[in-house]
Chain A
Amino acid sequence: MTAAHGRPARAMAAPGVRAALVALLAGALCLALAPRFAWLGQWPDAWTLPLTQWAGTAVTWLLEAIKPLAREFSALMRHPMDWANLALHATPWPITIGVTAALGWYLGGFAMAALGAVGLGFVVASGYWTESMNTLALVAVSVPLALVVGGAIGILANEMPRLKPPVQALLDVMQTVPTFAYLTPLMLLFGFGPVVGLIASAIYAAPPMARNVLLALERVDPEIREAAVMSGATRAQQLFQVEIPSGASQIMVGVNQCLMAALSMVIIAAVIGGFNDIGWEVLLTMRKAQFGQSLLAGLVIVVFAVVIDRYSGTLAGERRRHDRRVVYLLLALSVVLTALFWSSLADAATFHVLTPVAEAVDRSLTAFTIANGATLDAIKNNAMFFGLLPLRIGLDQAVLPFTWGFAWTGTMSWALFAVAAVLCLLLIWRGRPAAGLMAMIAAGMLETGIADLPWPFVLIGTAALGWVAAGWRLALLSLVLLSSILLSGLFGRALMSLYLSGAAVFACALVGGAVGWLAAVSPLAWRLVRPLCDMLQTIPLFVFLIPVLMFFQIGEFSAFLAICAYAVVPMIRYTRHGLVSTPPDLIEAAAASGATDAQIMRDIRVPYAAPTILLGLNQTILYAFAMLVIAALIGTTGLGQSIYLALGQADVGLGVSAGAAMAILALLADRIVQGFAAERRRALGL
């Protein structure tokens, strides 16, 4: 990349150029030979190994082996779950609200107390109190489990440096394997019921805790560590009296993330059903197309997410002391009110204050979609015909009289390639051969469509990209991992997933980059965008499906929108952060050299922000993959759908292999982008 600005002779030898050349050659060869050798275009079924079945057999055998133990554990976990259920259901709702408000006051004063009271008030009014308490009971049991397990993993990895790499890898896997994928084996292990949701959410929520504990311990100032040693503290004293307390705020960030992950997963786990919680309610109403109710239930989830997030967020910041007396006052007030109105206290489940609202929303929505159906359809169809379809199956198949008004011909293909070739030559002439070759490759991919890309091109192209990003190790890794997908016969679905998430990531990069840039140059824009970003990041994945479903029904476009809505946030945040954190002396030096604002942006701020923006892109990719699986609920093809189907049929083999394939894609994308970000950081000497 750096060499792209150098002289042509040197630039031609740069790794980027060589890699692009190799990929281009591979693609061209495939394109030229595909008509003659069909196996080049599509991996023949006869060549696949029954990896899926093998995985199924192996995992099932393993699961059967530990099943008795798991059932034992499941029986054990029933107790705390029953206690949590009992405590949350038996407590009269005014007292629950009072305790929440008192806790809010204790943590963050009036604002937090009001947030808690209003939020829970809304839950009571919605009539979803019982379901909410079921969800909350699950969270209440899974979070301590995740905190203890995650904290222990973090401390262990810190104490034994040799364990760090495998632990990091394990955490990566735990977080990249899509959530639905491990629901299937868990179901086999623990049977139907809430314990599966509990375990799944603990598995999902432990890694952020482990990561943050490890990070907190690694970041302890070495002098503080040495001061503890020189004070004559034993290792245990150093750890528990000095290192952990002094890293408390980082650990609290972990607690916050752990809570949010647990909540998100408990709601996702609703798809297996069986425990009448709020996630199930959303799913049910969504299936019945009662979007008003569905939205209401979704809002209840959002309320919980926001309250839990803001409450635990105050733990990480520096806390001011708030008057304790208010805490007791709030508690006393709720008890007194409950006692006074004991006889007339209505069961929270019987409240339906908001039901008419939900029904009204439903009616007006129906009216709106009927009235504007044509417009919505037009938006959807245009996006499909001119954006998504060509990306998926290529211009040669997507351009039809029905879609574009004319048919794609061979001449047009040649014209496309000719334009790309001219652009390529122009770029090479301007001293940017890598960009030129990339233009050629892009033209080829547009012509073929991502879902129909020949497998040798995908393998070689990814390996080349990995080689440029992080050297031959990554190239080899990507070859091996992609080959395993190929052999398992899931390659076609993997390409489908790649296409949809790729399209979403591309859109997020454009939109998120632009919004992030705007937020960087205009404080006003940031003040508007920031709460939106906060909100989008707090909302559990599941809830994103409701609004897109309301307007665009089931289908790929809805999935695309849901993925974009969820994955765009990191792109915005990181772009802005990268752009605003340019060291002021650099900007002053540029300004003193006579650069205009635009020149400073182009020559100083953007290059300086590049590594940060790349990290944002990395996060966006991971978010997109995570959402892709959830989006399978509203109709996508590809791996996400396979995982979802496997869950329905309790097909462990398919679930595990499709989950692994998904994790492989996420892992490779992550490593490649991280590699580029590291390369940029090194180039800037950061």
Chain B
Amino acid sequence: MSRATPPVIACQNVWQVFGPNAKAALADALARSGGDPQAAAGLLGAAGLIPAVQDATFEVGEGELFVIMGLSGSGKSTLVRCIAQLLEGTSGEISIEGENVVGAGKQRLTRLRREKMGMVFQHFGLFPHMTVAENVAYPLRVQGVDRKRRRARAQEVITLVGLQGREGAYPRELSGGQRQRVGIARSLAVNPGIWFLDEPFSALDPLIRRQLQDEFLNIQGKLRKSIIFITHDIAEALKLADRIAIMRDGRIVQIGTPTDIVLRPVDDYVREFSRDVPKGRHARVASVMQPTDRCRPGPDDPGLRQGMTLDVALARCMDLYEPVPVWDDRGACVGAVNPADLAAALQVEDT
């Protein structure tokens, strides 16, 4: 999606290495391995350093919901902290809205955070000594916004996340789901364009999690932020993402749309993730569509669209054998789908 708009966040060969003299060690390892990142990471590991993020390169477009998925210890949280400049990356370039932020001074970073970024944390990161309203208004308070205006803005976002009536409560008096709503509200207080969410729903019960996911999509539908969303849950990634990056042991192994990940995994590791995923619910008709010049709708045309999931499409053309045309939103024909291909795409691999 939105490949046409310029990237809001761009990472170029970002490395985060933990250990003594990480910068020099990384440069040395890259030189010795001839620039091959995997070999360099091996050398660093052998030397007792931890290459937590290796050579990450990707872009996030305007209004895009970019999910980084990986198991614990895969470096996904480290990566998002590099981008948010909570950690100083060891090497690589990170630019936010076209300006390079690596090596930016303290004041500029503070300004950047006050104007452009919001972040939600896994364990909420709420200030225990402040009420809900004070927590939410804190990003405005540090900027010196006067009490009345920040009260009003806090009230707006508190209403947005559905917490009206709990403004005076302290975090310890709230349930987990409510706490994360506070976290979300606080991260939106300054109306930032870029939104980091670090496993925001992982610490919640499954039911609450689903509810918050739906509300999150709802909010994103209204606000259209540029988002980096971290999760270890493939179902969550597939449900929310415009595009997904899958990380393993500090490396990004695949970047693609949910359909790409489910239907065209690059290796066994990614395939393993998507094995239990009901493909029909995530893959779209567009992924199995072929170009065609025969666009005459038959009398029993099922009316397939690009954005339909495979499950829905298959249900509509169960008893058809001929290629079926696919229409876009304006009613123009964009291609055709062979029902047999639909069925084949849904086959669960036995490997």
Give the B-binding residues of A (Cβ under 8 A).
221, 223-224, 226-235, 237, 241-242, 245-246, 248
Contact = CB atoms under 8 A, between A and B. Distances in A.
A221 B117 CA distance: 21
26 contacts: A221-B123, A223-B121, A223-B122, A223-B125, A224-B126, A226-B81, A226-B86, A226-B121, A227-B121, A227-B125, A229-B86, A229-B113, A230-B84, A230-B119, A231-B142, A232-B111, A232-B114, A232-B142, A232-B143, A232-B190, A233-B110, A233-B142, A237-B142, A241-B138, A246-B127, A246-B128
Contacts of A241: 138, 141-142
Contacts of B118: 230
Interface string B181-205: 0010011001000001000000000
B296 interface: no
B113 A231 contact: yes
Count chain B CB atoms within 10 A of each CB in A230, A233, A246 and give the residue with the most: A230
Nearest to B115: A232
Interface of B: 81, 84, 86, 106, 110-111, 113-114, 117-119, 121-129, 138-139, 141-143, 183, 186-187, 190, 196
Contact of A234 (B123, B128, B142): B142
A232 B194 CA distance: 14
Contact of A232 (B81, B121, B124, B139): B139
A230 B127 contact: no
Contact of A230 (B86, B122, B124, B141): B86
A344 B118 CA distance: 69
A223 B124 CA distance: 7
Contacts of A228: 127, 138
B129 A227 contact: no
B125 A224 contact: yes
A241 B134 CA distance: 11
B119 A224 contact: no
A241 B138 CA distance: 9
A235 B142 CA distance: 11
Contacts of A231: 113, 138-139, 142, 186
A246 B110 contact: no
A226 B77 CA distance: 12
A248 B127 CA distance: 12
A226 B125 contact: yes
Given A232-B110, A232-B114, A232-B190, A227 B127 contact: yes
A221 B142 CA distance: 20
A37 to B, nearest CB: 49
A226 B124 CA distance: 11
* Majority DSSP secondary structure for residues of A touching B: helix
A227 B110 contact: no
A438 to B, nearest CB: 37
A163 to B, nearest CB: 19
Nearest to B128: A246
Contacts of B142: 231-234, 237, 241
B174 to A, nearest CB: 15
Given A230-B187, A234-B110, A246-B128, 11 more contacts: A223-B125, A226-B121, A227-B183, A230-B84, A230-B113, A230-B117, A230-B196, A232-B110, A232-B114, A235-B106, A237-B142
Contacts of B86: 226, 229-230
Nearest to B81: A226
B127 A242 contact: yes
A227 B123 contact: no
Contacts of A227: 119, 121, 125-127, 183, 186
Considering the complex of A and B, which 4 residue pairs feature the smallest CB-CB distances, nearest first? A232-B114, A227-B125, A223-B125, A231-B139
A221 B183 CA distance: 15
B127 A232 contact: no
A246 B113 CA distance: 22
B131 to A, nearest CB: 13
Contacts of A242: 127
Contact of B125 (A221, A233, A248): A221
A246 B186 CA distance: 17
B235 to A, nearest CB: 24
Contacts of A234: 110, 142
Nearest to A223: B125
A25 to B, nearest CB: 38
B23 to A, nearest CB: 18
A229 B86 CA distance: 8
Contact of A223 (B84, B123, B139): B123
Nearest to B142: A233
A245 B113 contact: no
Given A223-B122, A231-B139, A231-B186, A245 B114 contact: no
Contacts of B110: 232-234
Nearest to B137: A231
B129 A248 contact: yes
A248 B130 CA distance: 13
Nearest to A234: B110
A245 B127 CA distance: 9
A224 B127 contact: yes
A248 B128 CA distance: 10
Contacts of B128: 224, 246
Nearest to B138: A231
A237 to B, nearest CB: 5
Contacts of B119: 226-227, 230
Nearest to B117: A230
Contacts of A226: 81, 86, 119, 121, 125
Contacts of B141: 241
Contacts of A232: 110-111, 113-114, 139, 142-143, 190
A246 B126 CA distance: 10
A492 B196 CA distance: 66
Contacts of A224: 125-128
Contacts of B143: 232
B178 to A, nearest CB: 17
Nearest to B118: A230
Nearest to A233: B142
B236 to A, nearest CB: 20
B184 to A, nearest CB: 12
A483 to B, nearest CB: 34
A235 B119 CA distance: 18
Count chain B CB atoms within 10 A of each CB in A221, A229, A232, A234 and give the residue with the most: A232
A237 B139 CA distance: 11
Contacts of A245: 127, 129
Contacts of A235: 106
A234 B141 CA distance: 11
Contacts of A221: 123, 125
Contacts of B121: 223, 226-227
A223 B120 CA distance: 9
A184 B187 CA distance: 58
A242 B190 CA distance: 18
A239 B264 CA distance: 49
B173 to A, nearest CB: 12
B193 to A, nearest CB: 14
A226 B183 CA distance: 12
B137 to A, nearest CB: 10
A233 B114 CA distance: 8
A221 B128 CA distance: 10
A242 B129 CA distance: 8
A234 B105 CA distance: 12
B288 to A, nearest CB: 42
